[in-house]
Structure 1
Amino acid sequence: MFFWGGTKHTVVNMSGPEIHFDPKEHQHLRYNPLRDSWVLVSAHRMKRPWAGQVEKPPEEHIPRYDPHNPLCPGNTRANLEVNPDYKDTFVFENDFPALQPNAPDPGPDQHPLFQSKAARGVCKVMCFHPWSDVTLPLMKKEEVVKVIDKWAELAEQLGATYPWVQIFENKGAMMGCSNPHPHCQVWASNFLPNEPALSDRCQRAFYEKHKEPLLLQYAKQETEKKERLVVMNADWLAVVPYWATWPYQLLLLPRRHVLRISDLTTEERGSLADIMKQLLTKYDNLFESSFPYSMGWHGAPTGPHLKEDNSHWQLHAHYYPPLLRSATVRKFMVGYEMLAQEQRDLTPEQAAEKLRNLPNEHYKSRQEQGEDSFLAPLHL
């Protein structure tokens, strides 16, 4: 039985004397209020030797322009369309969309165990920059602001029709990215997908009970505690959430109540660019490699939901990176995670401290200046 209080907790051992709980040594469960689920934390598993899968190191020498890369300016894509000679962001219809606007309806359901519904929407690809050898942390602040502005524009434009607009970036081959050129995707659907639907239910229940948005209260708590805080500025904070599943997972939150990315002020977009560059630089510095992740924005539903009261919602972004021990050893979500529940191998506090203490200067800048690596003393 667990008695939750301060940093140290007491576990009552019914067959022997009391032992003092240490989250770095003793497995325990943590509640995820956004998903109404529990995560098993087993930090002591980091001590086990590793003789499993080792990934290939990420490619560090990507050409600035590749005449065969379909995302580069001026190149021809699979549908034979030629990209413009773009100078900042570039958006186009996905050549292989998972959602199309005019898909037929499957028809009436015949049995409760064999249900289907119509799925319609649009899928867009958005290039961040004309150069293939840059990523968001290596871009200038004003270039990142243009990315944020385009995100907001697409969310508002597509959200006028569709109830959900999912902005997401898969970075790195380890996360299924098929092209190294800096880009993301935007999918708009005529349905509310599983994850945002669950988050909507959980945030609504918390708001009805506590009369305050769940993530707004959470941001205040983390600002005071600081033990899971990674970076923060006047408008934003990034934390390894208390309920994190992935080793170096981050939750990016505004410090005021914001429903959607299109609601951000000019100043908030500038400070968002600042904090994104900081947290992504720390990601890259962790193992001195281009850090892979999947990230995405969650905000209040749109389309027919625009006229509803969505006060329970708070805009936020999730970052889910797979790396655990090095640039080539990842966390696998298999076995127990697939068949029982989510499990992580180091505490969120350990992960946050490690990220927080990393320099804000990108490791590539140090290499260009001929300075020593800061990687070695930071390994677990």
Structure 2
Amino acid sequence: MSNNFEDYPHKRFNPLTGEWVLVSPHRTKRPWQGKQEKPAVNTLPAYDDKCYLCPGNTRNQGASNPDYKDVFIFDNDFPALLHESVGGFCDEDNLFKVEPESGICRVVCFSPRHDLTLSRMQPEAVRKVVDAWCEQYSELGEREDIGYVQIFENRGDIMGCSNPHPHGQIWATRSTPVIPESEDKRQREYLAEKGKCLLCRYVERELENKKRIIFENDSFVALVPFWAVWPFETMLLPKAHMGAMVDLTPAQRDDLAEALIRMGIRFDNLFETSFPYSMGIHQRPPKNKDNKHWHWHIHYYPPLLRSATVKKFMVGFEMLGMPQRDITAEQSAKQLRDLPEEHYLDRGE
């Protein structure tokens, strides 16, 4: 049996979720085959009078935005969660089960500028976003009716983002959602079995290996996880052990802002387009007392595969069996690592 993972199909295990991904590198030795079109550059105005997130504009439900100058946060006008919820129910066969779920949904506008993204903002402006995320985690997490605070950003219309204005969301739920709950369980079990933090050890091993590292700064490392499912899936992980963003020092918050910009620039430069993704922060449930096992981190799940218009879909075997990828995590990491850190829109002709 060969140990050359670059040539033969194999499965890779995700220790955070307990799931597997099928990797088939033999299917494409050159992942960039075929035409790669130059996408048109979409030029957005700095202010759009029809945008319901721009300063001073009226939103769909009639509320008016203030003339905000940096980060602006408001309760979502069309929330997925409500303060009230239905009662629970379970039949005698445990086949029809309902549990109540309530919560709060908020929108976080990163900038008053309609034409920016995190990758195009200045470090001091992104630092204000980081501070806002920390403040929201603390504020919402202190509420008796909130058990978990999920911070995330959907970027690009193919990710379901209904407005190009730079913004993210916060969904604070009564209970812990399925994926963070799974990560909680796996990290807790690893600490009990190995006596060390799962992601602390993982970061150490990745920094030794280097093959999947994209970049690092004093506080954070950006990498393509060994078990990545999406073509250019990445993670941002703090090098020091900490359970939540609120544990960051001021210097570490600055480093996180820098890392968010650098990661965004690399994504944009990959296919010279405003790169779509879903990005989310996983951190300890705010009220859990036993949190030594938690190591907070950021996931990026981008769908693009070969160009600005060619994307990966979960179909066939992936929907019925398990996720599968042809490009290895090592190949994706090298592609991202080799990109310049100057945004393609700033290079000039």
- TM-score, scaled to structure 1: 0.87
Number of the residue aligned with 2:340: 359
Contact 1:66 1:72 in 2 (8 A): yes
What is the identity, as a one-letter code, of the residue corresponding to 1:124? R
User: Could you list the per-position Cα deviations for residues 219-249 of structure 1 after superposition, in whole angstroms to 9, with x for gaps in the alignment?
Assistant: 1111111110001011100110000000111
Once the two structures are TM-superposed, the CA of residue 144 in structure 1 deviates from its matched residue by: 0.3
What is the identity, as a one-letter code, of the residue corresponding to 2:113? W
Number of the residue aligned with 2:44: 62
Q: Aligned with 2:170: secondary structure?
A: strand
Number of the residue aligned with 2:53: 71
From 188, 203, 218, the equivalent of 2:202 is 218
Number of the residue aligned with 2:113: 131
Once the two structures are TM-superposed, the CA of residue 44 in structure 1 deviates from its matched residue by: 2.9
Contact 1:58 1:172 in 2 (8 A): no
Alignment of 1:228-247 (within 5 A): 228-247=212-231
Alignment of 1:301-312 (within 5 A): 301-303=285-287, 305=288, 308-312=289-293
What is the identity, as a one-letter code, of the residue corresponding to 2:272? E
User: Could you list the per-position Cα deviations for residues 140-173 of structure 1 after superposition, in whole angstroms to 9, with x for gaps in the alignment?
Assistant: 0000000000000001111112111000000001
From 297, 300, 305, the equivalent of 1:319 is 300
From 337, 347, 360, the equivalent of 2:328 is 347
Number of the residue aligned with 2:135: 153
Once the two structures are TM-superposed, the CA of residue 132 in structure 1 deviates from its matched residue by: 1.1
Distance 1:169 1:197 in 2: 20
Once the two structures are TM-superposed, the CA of residue 49 in structure 1 deviates from its matched residue by: 10
Aligned length: 346
Contact 2:31 2:306 in 1 (8 A): no
Number of the residue aligned with 1:166: 150
CA RMSD of aligned residues (A): 2.1
Number of the residue aligned with 1:262: 246
User: Could you list the per-position Cα deviations for residues 237-264 of structure 1 after superposition, in whole angstroms to 9, with x for gaps in the alignment?
Assistant: 0110000000111011001111111111
User: Could you list the per-position Cα deviations for residues 29-82 of structure 1 after superposition, in whole angstroms to 9, with x for gaps in the alignment?
Assistant: 11100110111011233369999xx99957621221111110111111111000
List alignment gaps of at least 5 residues for structure 1.
1-10, 12-19, 371-380
Distance 2:40 2:280 in 1: 22
Contact 1:90 1:128 in 2 (8 A): yes
Distance 1:50 1:291 in 2: 17
1:192 matches 2:173: no
Number of the residue aligned with 1:283: 267
Distance 2:148 2:269 in 1: 34
What is the identity, as a one-letter code, of the residue corresponding to 1:302? P
What is the identity, as a one-letter code, of the residue corresponding to 1:115? K
Once the two structures are TM-superposed, the CA of residue 109 in structure 1 deviates from its matched residue by: 4.8
Distance 1:126 1:223 in 2: 33
From 193, 203, 220, the equivalent of 1:209 is 193
1:40 matches 2:48: no
User: Could you list the per-position Cα deviations for residues 74-106 of structure 1 after superposition, in whole angstroms to 9, with x for gaps in the alignment?
Assistant: 111111000000000000010110101122324
Distance 2:165 2:305 in 1: 24
What is the identity, as a one-letter code, of the residue corresponding to 1:348? A
Change (3 A) 1:50 1:212: closer
Number of the residue aligned with 1:331: 312
What is the identity, as a one-letter code, of the residue corresponding to 2:263? L
User: Could you list the per-position Cα deviations for residues 310-359 of structure 1 after superposition, in whole angstroms to 9, with x for gaps in the alignment?
Assistant: 10110100000001111110011111111000111200000001100110
Distance 2:83 2:91 in 1: 21
- TM-score, scaled to structure 2: 0.95
Contact 1:166 1:297 in 2 (8 A): yes
Contact 1:247 1:344 in 2 (8 A): yes
Distance 1:257 1:58 in 2: 42
Q: Aligned with 1:98: secondary structure?
A: coil
Change (3 A) 1:344 1:145: same
Q: Aligned with 1:323: secondary structure?
A: coil
Contact 2:110 2:167 in 1 (8 A): yes
List alignment gaps of at least 5 residues for structure 2.
none
What is the identity, as a one-letter code, of the residue corresponding to 1:41? V
Distance 1:109 1:156 in 2: 38
Contact 1:29 1:38 in 2 (8 A): yes
Distance 2:274 2:187 in 1: 34
Change (3 A) 1:82 1:143: same
Distance 1:357 1:188 in 2: 37
1:25 matches 2:7: yes
Identity fraction in percent? 49
Once the two structures are TM-superposed, the CA of residue 195 in structure 1 deviates from its matched residue by: 0.3
Q: Aligned with 2:305: secondary structure?
A: strand
Distance 2:320 2:201 in 1: 32
Contact 1:30 1:41 in 2 (8 A): yes
Contact 1:56 1:328 in 2 (8 A): no
Number of the residue aligned with 1:14: none
